[in-house]
Amino acid sequence: MIPICLVTGFLGSGKTTFLKQIAARHADEKIVYLVNDFSPQDVDGALLEQVEDDVVTIPGGSIFCRCLVTQFLGRLRSIPERFGTDEQPVAGVVIEASGIADPAVIDEMLAETALDRVYEVATIVAIVDPASLPKLVTTLPTIAAQIRSAEIVLLNKVDRFDEAAVAAAEGIVREINPDAPIVRNVRCAAEVEIFAGGRVRALEGDYAPCADPNYARFSVGFERPVRLSALLDELSRARNDIYRAKGFVPTDGGIAYVDMSEAGLLAEAAPDATGETVLAIIARAKASHRVQELIGRLSATA
């Protein structure tokens, strides 16, 4: 049986950073990373591919929704033969679920397709950001579902908040899942036994619908260099309408990686970036008209 470590967490919590940490610690092992990005652009997979070769990507939704489940299961079926050899079979699979995913259906999904004869879900890790958790947990049900499903919860980015904010986030986690240990950490640096096994309960849930009414997806392509400071100013002013914005944008100084979430706004040089220069945006559905106007202004920064 090939063990699976399922990594969940809301948009911008630090899932891809966690996968990079795992890849660095397990560089000598044949571990395959399956990255699911809610946005149509494969930003997280591109980031991980900068440090790891064995990456499979599924952008454009949640792997636990009916629209992508066939693609997801097909990828899982292909992994042992595609990446493993007789001398070095696949030692495990780490799945990064999209930030809006409810993972409760995964056990049923594997059982229905007989993939539970090939894989076992060894560990489910939920990554939590103290900034987004108290603001969104009561309005976005998937956040609580991710925590409820977890065997371990990583409370990430604790260096950015005072003790009261961190303790408040821990309290919310304990109310949702009193049995899961909570590990405070910075940049997902906590060492986790990713294939520990010994899960004490199976999950039960339903497939998600193809369209989640809470979210709207957009993308902005750039053919010419942008004025980065102007683009960041526009994003910052739209912070209340946007759950996450991320992607690679061209500037006069080269390609930059831009990332905005509840935790803040980041822009840094990305000299190793390849592929499209596109900014993916996941917004509150009710703010769609304002985000459409924002996209026009972002395009004007080029």
Say if residue 133 is in the same domain as residue 232: no
The number of folded domains in the chain is 2
* pLDDT of amino acid 141: 93
Q: Residues of 279-288 as b/e, b for ≥16 C-beta within 10 angstroms?
A: bbbbbbeebe
Say if residue 58 is in the same domain as residue 175: yes
β-strand partners of 242: 283
What is the rounded CA–CA span in Å between residue 182 and residue 213? Answer: 30
Q: Is residue 206 part of a domain?
A: no
- Phi-psi domain of 192 (left: phi exceeds 0; alpha: psi -120 through 50; beta: other): beta
- Phi-psi domain of 5 (left: phi exceeds 0; alpha: psi -120 through 50; beta: other): beta
pLDDT in tens, 158-173: 999 999 999 999 999 9
Say if residue 15 is in the same domain as residue 65: yes
| pTM of the entire predicted model | 0.92
Say if residue 155 is in the same domain as residue 226: no
* pLDDT of amino acid 4: 98
Say if residue 164 is in the same domain as residue 220: no
Strands of 195-296 (E only): list them: 215-221, 242-251, 254-261, 264-269, 278-284
Say if residue 180 is in the same domain as residue 289: no
* pLDDT of amino acid 51: 66
Backbone angles phi, psi at 243, to 5 degrees: -80, -40
Counting as low any pLDDT under 70, the low residues of the chain are: 51, 200
Amino acid letter at 165?
Answer: A
Give 199's Cβ-side CA count (13 Å radius).
20
Say if residue 104 is in the same domain as residue 26: yes
Say if residue 162 is in the same domain as residue 230: no
Interstrand relation of 92-96 and 55-59 (parallel, antiparallel or unpaired)? unpaired
Sequence-separated (6 or more) residues with CB below 8 Å from residue 219: 39, 40, 41, 247, 278, 279, 280, 281
* pLDDT of amino acid 67: 84
Say if residue 111 is in the same domain as residue 260: no
Q: What is the CATH number of the domain that holds 41?
A: 3.40.50.300
Helix (H, G, I), strand (E, B) or coil at 193: coil
Sequence-separated (6 or more) residues with CB below 8 Å from residue 85: none
Q: Which domain holds residue 247?
A: 215-299
Q: What is the CATH number of the domain that holds 243?
A: 3.30.1220.10
Say if residue 292 is in the same domain as residue 148: no
Q: Is residue 196 part of a domain?
A: no
What is the rounded CA–CA span in Å between residue 33 and residue 137? Answer: 28
Q: Is residue 195 part of a domain?
A: no
Amino acid letter at 227?
Answer: R
Say if residue 12 is in the same domain as residue 58: yes
Say if residue 171 is in the same domain as residue 73: yes
